[in-house]
């Protein structure tokens, strides 16, 4: 599913250059449920953004389902983000003025799904995360856990093979966090490849494999799951 | 399909941005309405003025006999110079640049009667060309005095529209006889109603026009009241006026430099003044209009700019969910288009409404009827829309060119 070779990512802000990733070799197979752990600033988010094609590496090679990502055009990358990857952010990143239902619809709109099918599918996925009765609520009218569930429904609505979550429970209390992780676990069982960044060992224990990062390098967990 | 998608997205975004949408709309409405109204009123004033000038006749000079102010070739000063009908022929013959001359006999208290209706009005004796010079247009079914009338001293009369009403009421006048100072005259034409603001001897609507020959024979006048003439080229008016002094000075023995020997009213001077006046007025309006558009444009552009900056995160979210660059840009262009279209339409309709209401203000007499020019409206809306588009397009493109992570972090 994911095959990264010698991936480096350098941020240059003015004069200072930060090497966020320093040669990552990483293979994640189909149907794996993987946790990424590491101290703050170790490059977890950077790695996740590269995996999800939200950003491009400074050097190295990345194959996603055998496709060489570096050689893709911006539009092809947009297609991948739309169809192959579902991304869940720590801060949800919902459109504030749109209802829960409309938020879930967005990827379907960019995927060109016809309106009737789109509405049906958006509703179905809201139901799946248990928010069918909150469809008309705006993000501001939802709890943190509910917002994250909307974000998950949105990430899943195009049925991507790969689901990525960057500290999905970071802004949630333990109770809501647990529900969210249950959802991811279920997704893993349903055949999605799931990668979750977390600081929570309890959560990490429930995954198949824990990848540990430190200073932009993988220090543990790159062996066989 | 695509379109419906964009519309639904757009409406959704509008909801999120009520204030800026309203502000942008207001900017465009105000800009459009202000420019359209300004131009409409300007055009109305000009047209009204031209129409009134038209009533008197364009480019004509009215000539009266005067009184000498200098002794000349043995004659003392203060001698009266009355004009005769044949002077018209003389002027036409001697001055190459002369397009037409008509004498005008005039009799103020002329009794006119039809059945039981009697009025006392001004009657003038003229040449056919008088009608052309003075824009005297007959109503359907009638005609002005013609050459045969003149040559055969026919007892025919052309009457002003008000005079026709006074004598005939609603009755048909053409082909009927009216009694003018006890002599029957055949009515051959009625003046088509016209606007006439300036006059030198009462308005045409109240007058009766007969052939100069008939007039002279009937009353035995030796002198005409005045003459009107028109140069072939309005730019040669000064030259022609000069030549009139020379020709008549030679005949009546006065110094051509003695301006008081004749008196002239050169309507082209007024026309010239008005042309410059309206040119200045136009420039003024265009300046105000441009200023309005600039202010409106700056408003629109600021709002659009702020919007895109504010919405970079939103662009990032959408791109992370699979939006392509084209999606982001198209949505933006579509938004600008809809706002411009709605704003422009509302602004235009508002202007139309104001102009419909215009008679309520009772200013028509001075300002005329404002006339909307669609091109003005289109240009105004177009400029504002373009400003909005440009000021929004480039920031939007910048946002769309970022990768999603960068856009999300901004
Ligand atoms: N846009 C950026 N510009 C410059 N430096 C950046 C940028 N994004 C991240 N970095 C730097 O790269 C390094 C890795 O950041 P990253 O966000 O991947 O860490 P992280 O492991 O996700 O940390 P956390 O657990 O706090 O989320 C950090 O030193 C960070 O300061
Ligand atoms: Mg992070």
Nearest CA to ligand 1 atom 18: A43
User: Taking Cα atoms as reference points, which of B168, B132, B125 lies closest to residue B149?
Assistant: B125
Task: Kindly report the nearest CA distance between residue A133 and chain B, in angstroms.
Answer: 21
pLDDT digit string (tens) for A164-212? 999 888 888 888 888 888 888 888 888 899 999 999 888 889 899 999 9
- CA-CA distance, B185 to B170, in Å (whole number)? 19
- Are residues B338 and B12 in contact, defined by beta-carbon separation less than 8 angstroms? no
Local confidence pLDDT in tens for the 410 residues of chain B: 455 556 666 666 666 667 777 877 887 888 888 888 888 888 888 887 777 777 778 889 999 999 999 888 888 888 999 999 999 999 999 999 999 999 999 998 999 999 999 999 999 999 999 999 998 889 989 999 999 999 999 999 999 999 999 999 999 999 999 999 999 999 999 999 887 767 777 888 999 999 999 999 999 999 999 999 999 988 899 999 999 999 999 999 999 999 999 999 998 887 778 878 888 887 888 888 888 778 777 777 777 777 777 778 888 899 999 998 888 888 777 777 788 888 888 988 998 888 888 777 766 666 777 787 888 888 888 887 887 778 778 877 887 888 888 888 76
- CA-CA distance, A219 to A223, in Å (whole number)? 11
Q: Which tokens belong to A197?
A: 């960044």
**Best of B321, B327, B334 to disrupt the A interface by mutation (most A CBs within 10 Å)?**
B321
Q: What does the pLDDT read at residue B10?
A: 62
CA of B280: how far to CAs of A196, B42, B47, B274, B289, in Å? 73, 11, 15, 10, 14
User: Taking Cα atoms as reference points, which of B76, B119, B285 lies closest to residue B207?
Assistant: B119
Place of tokens 């009134």: B52
Note whether residue A194 is domain-resident.
yes
- Report how many domains make up chain A: 1
User: Taking Cα atoms as reference points, which of B51, B233, B45 lies closest to residue B135?
Assistant: B51
Note whether residue A197 is domain-resident.
yes
Q: Which tokens belong to B376?
A: 């003005």
pLDDT digit string (tens) for A59-112? 999 999 999 999 999 999 999 999 999 999 988 999 888 899 999 999 998 898
- Are residues B61 and B237 in contact, defined by beta-carbon separation less than 8 angstroms? yes
User: Quick check: A225 pLDDT over 50?
Assistant: no
Note whether residue A225 is domain-resident.
no
User: Taking Cα atoms as reference points, which of B22, B223, B21 lies closest to residue B104?
Assistant: B223
Q: Is A63 on the interface with B (CB under 8 A)?
A: no
What ipTM was reported for this prediction? 0.91
- CA-CA distance, B392 to A68, in Å (whole number)? 35
CATH assignment at residue A183: 3.40.50.300
Note whether residue A109 is domain-resident.
yes
Whether B403 and A81 lie within 8 Å, measured CB to CB: no
**Structural domain of residue A63, as residue ranges?**
2-220
- CA-CA distance, A162 to A62, in Å (whole number)? 15
Which residues on neighbouring strands pair with residue B102, listed in sequence order? Answer: B228
pLDDT digit string (tens) for B69-99? 988 888 888 899 999 999 999 999 999 999 9
Note whether residue A156 is domain-resident.
yes
Q: Which tokens belong to A217?
A: 């390098």
Q: Which tokens belong to B346?
A: 């509302």
- CA-CA distance, B10 to B135, in Å (whole number)? 58
Note whether residue A164 is domain-resident.
yes
Print burial letters for B327-366: b (CB count within 10 Å at least 16), e (below 16): bbbebbebbbebbbeebbebbbebbbebbeebeeeeeeee
Q: Which residues line ligand 1 (CB under 6 A)?
A: A 11, 13, 18, 20, 38, 40-46; B 409
Q: Is B403 on the interface with A (CB under 8 A)?
A: yes
- Are residues B304 and B388 in contact, defined by beta-carbon separation less than 8 angstroms? yes
- Are residues B160 and B204 in contact, defined by beta-carbon separation less than 8 angstroms? yes
What's the CA-to-centroid distance between A45 and ligand 2, angstroms?
4
Q: What does the pLDDT read at residue A210?
A: 94
Q: Which of A45, A54, A55, A57 best tests ligand 1's pocket when mutated (most atoms within 8 Å of CB)?
A: A45
- Are residues B59 and B230 in contact, defined by beta-carbon separation less than 8 angstroms? yes
């Amino acid at each position: 599913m994911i095959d990264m070779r010698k991936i480096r990512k350098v941020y240059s802000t003015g004069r200072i250059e930060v090497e966020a990733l320093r040669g990552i070799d990483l293979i994640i197979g189909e149907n794996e449920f993987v946790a990424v752990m590491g101290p703050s600033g170790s490059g977890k988010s950077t790695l996740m953004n590269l995996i999800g094609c939200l950003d491009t590496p400074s050097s190295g090679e990345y194959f996603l389902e055998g496709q060489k990502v570096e050689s893709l055009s911006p539009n092809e990358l947009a297609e991948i983000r739309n169809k192959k990857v579902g991304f869940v952010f720590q801060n949800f990143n919902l459109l504030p003025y749109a209802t829960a239902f409309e938020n879930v619809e967005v990827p379907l709109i960019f995927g060109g799904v016809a309106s009737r099918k789109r509405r049906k599918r958006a509703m179905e996925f809201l139901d799946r995360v248990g928010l069918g009765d909150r469809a008309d609520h705006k993000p501001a009218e939802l709890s943190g856990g509910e917002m994250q569930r909307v974000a998950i429904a949105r990430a899943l609505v195009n049925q991507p093979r790969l689901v990525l979550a960057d500290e999905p429970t970071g802004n949630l209390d333990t109770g809501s966090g647990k529900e969210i992780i249950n959802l991811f676990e279920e997704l893993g069982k349903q055949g999605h490849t799931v990668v979750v960044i977390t600081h929570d060992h309890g959560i990490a224990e429930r995954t198949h494999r824990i990848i540990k990062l430190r200073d932009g390098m993988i220090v543990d967990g790159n062996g066989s799951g | 399909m695509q379109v419906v998608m964009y519309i639904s997205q757009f409406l959704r975004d509008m909801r999120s941005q009520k204030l800026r949408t309203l502000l942008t709309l207001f900017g465009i409405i105000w800009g459009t309405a202000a420019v359209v109204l300004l131009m409409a009123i300007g055009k109305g004033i000009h047209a009204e003025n031209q129409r009134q000038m038209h009533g008197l006749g364009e480019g004509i000079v009215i000539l009266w006999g005067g009184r000498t102010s200098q002794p000349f070739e043995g004659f003392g000063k203060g001698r009266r110079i009355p004009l005769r009908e044949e002077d018209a022929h003389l002027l036409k013959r001697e001055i190459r640049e002369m397009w037409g001359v008509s004498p005008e006999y005039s009799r103020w208290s002329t009794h006119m009667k039809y059945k039981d209706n009697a009025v006392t009005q001004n009657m003038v004796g003229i040449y056919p060309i008088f009608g052309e010079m003075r824009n005297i247009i007959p109503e359907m079914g009638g005609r002005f005095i013609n050459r045969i009338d003149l040559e055969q001293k026919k007892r025919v009369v052309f009457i002003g529209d008000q005079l026709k009403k006074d004598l005939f009421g609603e009755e048909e006048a053409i082909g009927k006889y009216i009694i003018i100072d006890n002599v029957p005259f055949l009515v051959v034409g009625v003046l088509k109603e016209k606007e006439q603001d300036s006059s030198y001897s009462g308005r045409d609507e109240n007058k009766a026009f007969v052939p100069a020959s008939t007039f002279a024979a009937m009353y035995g006048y030796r002198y005409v009241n005045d003459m009107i003439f028109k140069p072939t080229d309005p730019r040669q008016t000064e030259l022609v006026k000069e030549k009139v002094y020379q020709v008549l000075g030679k005949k009546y023995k006065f110094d051509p430099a003695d301006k008081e020997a004749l008196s002239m009213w050169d309507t082209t001077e007024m026309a010239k003044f008005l042309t410059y006046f309206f040119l200045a007025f136009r420039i003024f309006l265009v300046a105000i209009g441009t200023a309005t558009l600039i202010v409106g444009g700056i408003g629109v552009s600021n709002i659009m700019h702020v919007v895109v900056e504010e919405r970079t995160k939103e662009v990032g979210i959408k791109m992370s969910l699979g939006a392509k660059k084209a999606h982001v840009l198209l949505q933006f262009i579509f938004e600008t288009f809809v706002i411009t279209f709605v704003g422009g339409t509302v602004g235009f309709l508002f202007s139309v409404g104001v102009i419909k209401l215009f008679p309520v203000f009772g200013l028509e007499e001075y300002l005329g009827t404002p006339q909307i020019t669609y091109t003005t409206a289109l240009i105004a809306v177009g400029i504002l829309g373009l400003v909005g588009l440009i000021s929004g397009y480039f920031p939007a493109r910048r946002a769309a060119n970022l990768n999603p992570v960068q856009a999300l972090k901004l």
